[in-house]
Structures are given as C-alpha cells and as structure tokens.
Structure 1
Amino acid sequence: MPSELRQLVNLLSSAVDTVDGIYEKENTTFPALDEPWNPKAPNEILGQSAEVAAAKMILVAAAEQLMATVREPYVALIRTGDGMTMLACLRTVSELNVAEILREAGPQGLNVNEIAAPSKVNPDLLARMLRLLATNHIFTEVSPNVFANNRVSSALDKGKPSAELFAKPDERLKGAAPVAALVEMFGDDLAKSFSHLTESIHLDPTGSTSPMRLAFNVPADQGLFPWMMRPENKKRAERFTIAMHSDSSREVAMGAIYNGFDWDLLPADGTIVDVGSGMGVNGLTIAKKYPGLRVVNQDFAAVVEKAKAHWQEHLPSHIEKGLVEFQTHDFFTPQPVTTASAFILRHITHDWSDDQNVQILRRLRDASSPQTYLILIEHVVPSIAEESDEVKKIEGATPREKAPEPLLGNFGAAASSIYSRDMLLHFLGGKERTVANFVEVFDKAGWKLVRIHRIPGLEQCHVVGVPA
C-alpha cells in the first residue's frame, strides 16, 4: 500500500489533472498567481464551477496536510505566529492604500520609496512588511524593493484612485471595499481581542465572557452591538457594516437565496419577516421573484432608514404597492408581527450565545402560527468525526461529501475557515454552530429543526424549523 505521503501526492496529481482538463476543454488557463485578480474574467468564473471547486478543495487539503506531515512539529507550531504578524502587516498596507498605488503602477511595479511617499511612512519598514507578505504569495517583489500586485493582493483593492483615498480618508472603505474592510477589522478589533482569549477563559470557566469585552472595557451590562453603535465607535461600526456586506453581495450575485428553502411553500400573498434585516437584501431579492409576498424589515432605527433608501433604489414598485414595511425592532423584545409565513434571520444567531438565541427564537415562536417557518441563513460547523445517528436523521444534515482518504473527513485546512470564524465570533460573544447545537437551541425555543439546505458554491446553509 502506498505511504501516506504518496497518497497525498497522488490526490494532488489527480486533482490537477481534473482542473487542467476542464480549463483545456474551455480553451483557457487557470488564473496565474502573478496577475491581478479579475473576478469577472472567464477563467475566474470557471474556477467557481462545482467540478473545479471540488478539485480545488482536494488540492488545498492535500497540500496543507502534506506540509503538516513533513514539517518539524516545533516549526509547525511556531508558524502559527506568522499569521498574526501577516495580519498586522495586511491591515497596515490596506490602510496605506498600497494595492491601489500598485494597481496604478501596473505590472512593472513601483519602488517602495514611491509607495511610501503618499502616506509619508518609513519606506524601509514598509519594504520589510511587503517582503514578508510577498514571501507568502501576497504581492510580488519584481526586483529589489520594487513591488507589484498579484492575484491575492489585488483583492485588497478598494476600486478607487489612490489620490481620492488619501484625500478622503474617512471614506476609504465606502463603496465596493468589503475585503479591505474585513482585513482591517480583523487586524484591529479582533487582533486586539485575540490576546485576551486566555484571560477570558480563566476569568469565566463557562466560556461565555467575550474577549472583546476585556480588550475594549465594554461594561458587562451593555451588549457589544449597542456599544459599537455609540457615537465614538462610528467608524468601527461603519467598517463592520461594510465588511459584513461581502457575503451578501456574492450571495445576491449567485442567486443563493433561491437555492435553499423552497419559497413556493409560502402562500403567494404571505408575509416574510426579515429579523435584523440590515439593508433588507434578503427580502428584496425574494420579492423580485415572488412579487406577491409582503416583506417586513426589522432592525435598529438608523439601519432601517438605510434599508428604506436601498429598497427605494432597487425595488420602488414594492413600496408603491404597500407590500414592504420597515420597523424599528429589538429582537429580544416581543415580536410585533403575528401573521408571518416565515421569519428569516441571516447571520443573526451566530452573533449571540446559546441562551440569547433561545430568547430570540422564543420571541418568534410566541408570535408564530402552526404554519410559520423559521429560516436561519447560517454556516453549519461540520464535525471532523462522523456525525451521530440522531443528526443523520435530519434531512441535509450531513455534508454533501466526505474527503477521500487519507485527508481528514472535513477536508482539513481547506475547510478551516469556518472553525476560525467560529472563534472570531466568540470574541464578539457568539459562535458558529454544529447541527447538534442548532437542534438543542431550536428545542429549547419551541422549534423543531426539520431540514438543512446546503447552498451550492457557498459554505452557508438554510437551517429550517417549524413550530414544535
């Protein structure tokens, strides 16, 4: 039998053959690392196809497991610290608008003295940051101290002229800059919280104390999100909102909302309540295909006003027909809508603890009818080991496929982002959940989990419940 090393290499070779074959058939080539990222390019779009995406999962999983196998253990452990260093560098170069400066410079790149000039920072230190990132395939050093964008670094591009970004620093992230907003948020708010994880678990063995509370001295009687909405945190809140828009824009482009729960199950003139609606993207997207549905958007007052403007721009006909309503509502208080065909919560429950989720979902259960659906749009954390028999009974609960041996069943490092996101949410006081976690929360809140729809091309799922 081949050694594990040989099995991993064979998986890599087979997956590369698959990808090469698909690209050759379409008479194109796989995107090059040293070229800027263009998500609209045909070869990038092809990379999102189901067959290529599956092969890429195996490639990443096998490559990462191969590195973990051959590295000395102490080197592998110490390498984890490199992630924090690179995150700090990424936040810095994003705030210095390096990707935009290099986009304007073109493929020949630019000397670090010129890159540093607009921000008046130390060019030697900036070169050291860029060299660390380039060594890890973020940016390219085309000649000594001359750097250019590559496929990875160009994803930081905020899509504006660099001169405009420096002239209006408070508006740098406004517009189409969700990746930069995420990187800067991770390198700021979350990085400052990372170092408080150990202290928080010693302080509170239940694990319910958020490290972010310790990092920013948030009073125990104040929620993190209300704290973020305070005037002094305006920039932090704006950055968070932009960062969270990254997933929704991609979901809309893919029509993901239609690929999970079957909206035909609702009455043609039914009511959907988008709880914590944000800009109201969920209901708006659904209403475009199901124009008879009435939509109720619920959120903080300031957010609701933005949602009104968004709907007025993108679906004014629904407003004119009186089929959309905007309500200021705190989802910990009694739910005012008692005629809902469905309650939708997109990336709401993962922001809160289990006990808080029970409170939120119990409010909805109290306002529901026997025909009401509960639809959570969330990520579902897979177990590395095989799921329990109880979980397997729930339709859609088990992952679409299991990784081939000798890979970890959950595809290992290729799927690690959801576990990392789970810990990031802990810093905010929330968590990503396993199927068993969802079952427990639903049960305590008076709901029964009946199905999980896994959305093709995305990690997220539609977790569907009915009144118990």
Structure 2
Amino acid sequence: MIGLGEVLGSLSVLDQYPWNEVSTVCDVGASIGTFSIPLAKTHSHLKIINQDLERVMPQAKEEWEREAPQAVQEQRIDFVPLNFFKEAPVAGQDVYYLRLIIHDWPDAEALTILRNVRKAMAPHSRVLIQDFIVGNPDRSSDPAAKNIGIDVAPKPMLPGFGAGNTFMYQQDLLMLMGNNGKERLLDDWTTLATAVGLRLEKVYDLGDTSVLDFRMA
C-alpha cells in the first residue's frame, strides 16, 4: 500500500490542500503513518494524532522514530488506539483525515465509520476523505460536478472519460472482489455524507484519487 500510494501520486495533497488553515490533524485509520509522516515533514506547524488499532501502535511508533524523529522529539505526534467501528476518534480536531479507507467497505460499514467521526467533530472541524470518485455516465450531473471541483469530459466523450478512465472501473471490481467494498460516484459520496450529518464543501482533484472536503451540515 505504501508503494501504491506513491505510484498513484496521492501525496500531492501535501501541496494541493491549504494546510495553513488548520493546526491539528487526526489521521483516522493511519496505519504506521504512511500519509501523516510526510504531512508532518512538509507542514511542521501541524500537531498530528495517529489513530489505528492498538496492535498497530508499536510499529507506528518505530516508524515515526525512524522516519520523522524531529516530529517525535517536538511532541507533534500522538499515538491513540482506535477501532473506528466501535468508537469515535479524538474529539475536537481541525481535520479528520481518512485516506483510502471508505472504499474498503460497503455502505453500512462506511456509515458506521463516518458516524463515529462525525461524533468527534467540533463546529470548526472538517473531514477530508482521500479516495476515488467514479465518473458519472449521466451528463445531467455535469453542472453540479463542475461546481464542486470534478472534471467532466467534453462531448462527444462520455462525461466520466470512458475508456480513458478504465483504471477506476477496474479498481471498483477489485474492491468488490477483495473486500465487498466499492468505488463511488460523487452522488454516492454525498448520500453517505447527508446520512451522517455532513455536507460536501469542495473536491480537490489529485489525478487518480481526490480529496473530498466535508463540513458539518
């Protein structure tokens, strides 16, 4: 997964998102810090919480001490165990970041995760979900997609870029066969968000993946 993230260019969010607007980040389902270590190195003003299952914490601490010792010494990183199906993350953070998490799960489990994140939010908090957005073949959705930051292919191409976006559809099948998960249309993402009390503010296109910026509804 570490290598796949680099191939997909998913760390381009380090430059594409306005991190100067926030000071605390909770990486939900962070593993050993695949995203949060580069984030700490790039934006040294951030205080980060690495949250994942308790059994992951020892390896995560070792990885941080090896790859980001300055952040550890400056106490800019905390390690807090979390089962995101059973409990909420640390409350009141500026950002709750979920990177390639939700596509692993069908809707029922995805809603459980997002409800728990929603419980932790303060009024100023935002939820950033870095994941895939499948292009909608229905061109009637074009105006809304463009307004929120989604690229739509011009006619006569299919709005979702057709065969040019084959990887996205292959990824959807991969998630279904491997995890009973799925990749989602923009409408699917907004449906999940509405169900848990979130609204979509903006989408940041990172190439293969995107970051969906949600706020409290």
Q: TM-score, normalised by structure 1?
A: 0.44
1:170-207 Cα distance to aligned partner (Å, 9 max, x none): xxxxxxxxxxxxxxxxxxxxxxxxxxxxxxxxxxxxxx
Determine if contact 2:25/2:49 at 8 Å carries over to the other structure: yes
Pick from 392, 410, 430 the counterpart of residue 181 of structure 2: 430
Displacement of 1:403 in angstroms is 5.1
2:171 corresponds to 1:414: no
**1:263 — aligned with what?**
19
Structure with a larger share of its residues in strand: 2
1:83-118 Cα distance to aligned partner (Å, 9 max, x none): xxxxxxxxxxxxxxxxxxxxxxxxxxxxxxxxxxxx
Pick from 40, 52, 55 the counterpart of residue 302 of structure 1: 55
2:216 corresponds to 1:463: no
1:5-60 Cα distance to aligned partner (Å, 9 max, x none): xxxxxxxxxxxxxxxxxxxxxxxxxxxxxxxxxxxxxxxxxxxxxxxxxxxxxxxx
Displacement of 1:452 in angstroms is 0.6
Query: Distance in 1 between the 2:141 and 2:202 partners?
Result: 16
Q: Residue 184 of structure 2 aligns to a residue in which SS?
A: coil
Displacement of 1:433 in angstroms is 0.7
Q: Residue 35 of structure 2 aligns to a residue in which SS?
A: helix
Closer/same/farther in 2, CA of residues 423 and 385 from structure 1, 3 Å limit: same
2:207 corresponds to 1:450: no
The alignment yields a C-alpha RMSD, in angstroms, of 2.0
1:219-240 Cα distance to aligned partner (Å, 9 max, x none): xxxxxxxxxxxxxxxxxxxxxx
Larger Rg, first or second structure (1 or 2): 1
1:436-467 Cα distance to aligned partner (Å, 9 max, x none): 00000001111111111101xx2100011001
Determine if contact 2:89/2:116 at 8 Å carries over to the other structure: no
Determine if contact 2:5/2:11 at 8 Å carries over to the other structure: no
The answer to which structure, 1 or 2, has the higher relative contact order (CA under 8 A, 6+ apart) is: 2
Displacement of 1:393 in angstroms is 6.9
Query: Distance in 2 between the 1:381 and 1:286 partners?
Result: 26
Closer/same/farther in 2, CA of residues 291 and 303 from structure 1, 3 Å limit: same
Displacement of 1:375 in angstroms is 0.2
Give the letter aligned to residue 246 of structure 1: G
Determine if contact 1:380/1:460 at 8 Å carries over to the other structure: yes
**2:30 — aligned with what?**
277
Determine if contact 1:271/1:339 at 8 Å carries over to the other structure: no
**2:144 — aligned with what?**
391
Displacement of 1:388 in angstroms is 2.0
**Identical aligned residues as a percent:** 25
Displacement of 1:392 in angstroms is 3.3
Closer/same/farther in 2, CA of residues 463 and 310 from structure 1, 3 Å limit: same
Give the letter aligned to residue 53 of structure 2: F
Displacement of 1:282 in angstroms is 1.5
Determine if contact 1:439/1:449 at 8 Å carries over to the other structure: yes
2:1 corresponds to 1:248: no
Structure with a larger share of its residues in helix: 1
Displacement of 1:324 in angstroms is 0.6
Give the letter aligned to residue 329 of structure 1: L
Displacement of 1:246 in angstroms is 2.5
Displacement of 1:412 in angstroms is 2.2
Q: Is there any run of 5+ residues in structure 1 with no aligned partner, and where?
A: 1-243
Determine if contact 2:51/2:89 at 8 Å carries over to the other structure: no
Query: Distance in 1 between the 2:15 and 2:70 partners?
Result: 25
Query: Distance in 1 between the 2:141 and 2:155 partners?
Result: 20
Query: Distance in 2 between the 1:425 and 1:251 partners?
Result: 16
Q: Is there any run of 5+ residues in structure 2 with no aligned partner, and where?
A: none
Give the letter aligned to residue 354 of structure 1: D
Q: Residue 453 of structure 1 aligns to a residue in which SS?
A: strand
Query: Distance in 2 between the 1:440 and 1:409 partners?
Result: 20
**2:153 — aligned with what?**
402
**1:357 — aligned with what?**
110
Closer/same/farther in 2, CA of residues 246 and 404 from structure 1, 3 Å limit: farther
